[in-house]
Amino acid sequence: MSDNVHVYAGLYAGLPQALMAVVTICTAAVVGLVLLHRPDRAAAAWSTAFALGLLGTYMWVAAIELELPAVRALASGLLLCAEPLIWLGVRLFAGRRATWPAAVMFVALVPIMLALTVDSDVFPIFFRVCFAGAGVFAGLIAFDLVRLKGVPRDILLPLMLSSGGFVLVAALNLVWTISFPQTSGEEQVAVLRDMNVIGTMVTTVTATLTIVLLVRMQPAAKAARSAAPDAAIRERVDRVRAHQEPAWSLLDVRLDDVRDLRESSGASDFARLLTRFRSRVVAALPPTADIAVVDDSRLLVLIPGSDEAVTHHLRTLLERVSAMDRRESTTAIRISASVGWATMLDARFDYDKLLELAAQRAESAGELGGDRWGRPRRDAVTIADGETSNR
């Protein structure tokens, strides 16, 4: 019995040092291999998450050694802050609209409120609520990773699994709280603190693997493009807003069934297909359009003209992409594109809203089978032959 106690004590004594080593190495890897390699907003969000995790880890170890409950509560809050910032980085990397307020409010309020309430009776309840909130962000990470297109699943799997595990623990915590109310709040908080520390190690390692591979596997030219692929379009929208010119639209053009096309084609054939896709999209657009390549299978287009003029260009674009299926494709899969269409009036000259609307309509068009565009009217998708179906 005594030997078992000594073994357990030895293992627990080594946990803080192991946590410090893991978090330090992973933070250095993310800053050196991600932020310095690709200094954009997604990399900044991820690096901030790891920096706060590093600070929280060192504070947590110091608080245990010096027996400082308030500092330990503050450190636990900092460790929970990694989830919203990682989620924010995933959304920025995917080109989706960043929901800053939710992540910023969590990061700003949770550590401070935990430190201030550590000696009060509400601390156990508040800590469980904060842990559940971090679980919600972990679920959002997994959800946005699943939606990430054009990325091999084996790269995303580590972070997806760890995020799913966090969600499971948070859900079990809620079930435990409801099912066993007689258990003291301090006992539940002690268990959650241990899970938080273990979860920090697991999330740190898996997030490092996914994030580093996600960024470093991009070709250098592509990484440079994606740092600000739409800078010219954003600048044009600013000028359009200044002159209040409503006759402009944003098109989000996406190649359908990218994963299936990649799997059914060789690497060189797939690369040539993507090149032809981009060339045909550009050829179908007027010279006055601004075009930004977001990735190999997605382009953003800011185009002037009335609805009738934009419709004409969209028909031409979809016809030219579909023609690849008959003339140039080496795969048996039908080649088509989905386009999201948002007008300046839809978004009230707000670029982020314009981008979000176009992306939503492109996704809706793809879900309905592709080879169509999402129209600038609520919940309507128009197929290339002119039919309209409401979702």
The domain segmentation of the chain, as residue ranges, is: 2-220, 228-390
CATH numeric code, 2-220: 1.20.1070
Residue 355 to residues 33, 249, 252, 345: CA-CA distances in angstroms?
A: 29, 10, 8, 13
Class of domain 228-390 (CATH, top level):
alpha beta
Residue-wise pLDDT for 251-296, tens only, equals 999 999 888 888 787 777 788 888 889 899 999 999 889 998 888 8
**Closest of 106, 97, 9, 121 to residue 49, by C-alpha:** 106
Q: Name the pairing type of β-strands 380-383 and 372-374.
A: antiparallel
Between CA 147 and CA 155, with CA 152 as vertex, the angle to 5 degrees is 95
Q: So what's the pLDDT on residue 329?
A: 55
Q: Considering the chain, what percentage of its residues have pLDDT values greater than 90?
A: 36
Tokens encoding 24 = 């330090």
Q: Does the predicted model carry a pTM greater than 0.85?
A: no
Instruction: Say yes or no: do domains 2-220 and 228-390 share a fold.
Output: no
Residue-wise pLDDT for 184-228, tens only, equals 556 666 666 667 777 788 889 999 999 999 887 765 444 444 445
